[in-house]
Amino acid sequence: MLPYGLERRVEIARALATRPSFLFLDEPAAGLNEDESEELFEVLAAIPQKKNLGLLIVDHDMRLIMRLCHRLHVLNFGKTIGEGTPEEIRKIPAVLQAYLGKSAAGG
């Protein structure tokens, strides 16, 4: 059995073997520790340019997502609570409360 982080990278490689024009990943960082998540970031960051494809990721690892994505669409209970760049998303009170654990007052 492979370590969990390596298993995730193998799954991504298998998906890339089909030569997609767009890659959709659902929770690729789920269950990964910080080191594994960093390794995943390095792999994912290289994919769009190296493989000339689009990348759509659904994940709760905000550290990964905020560094990896150029544009975000944030949902909470199926409703959009924010859209924009990571910089714009960091300023939306509903996103801060739902995903970053902060209140609009800064707590």
67: pLDDT confidence band, cut at 50, 70 and 90?
very high
Q: State whether the Cα torsion 4-23-43-30 is positive or negative.
A: negative
Q: What is the pLDDT of residues 30-62, one digit of tens each?
A: 999 999 999 999 999 999 999 999 999 999 898
Residue 43: in which H helix or E strand, if any? helix 34-51
Domain spans, the chain? 1-60, 70-107
Q: Cα separation of 59 and 79, whole Å?
A: 16
The predicted model scores a pTM of: 0.81
Looking at CATH, the fold of the domain delimited by 1-60 is given as Rossmann fold (3.40.50)
At residue 27, the pLDDT reads 95
Q: What pLDDT is attached to residue 104? A: 54
What's the pLDDT score for residue 4?
A: 84
For the chain, give the mean pLDDT.
Answer: 91
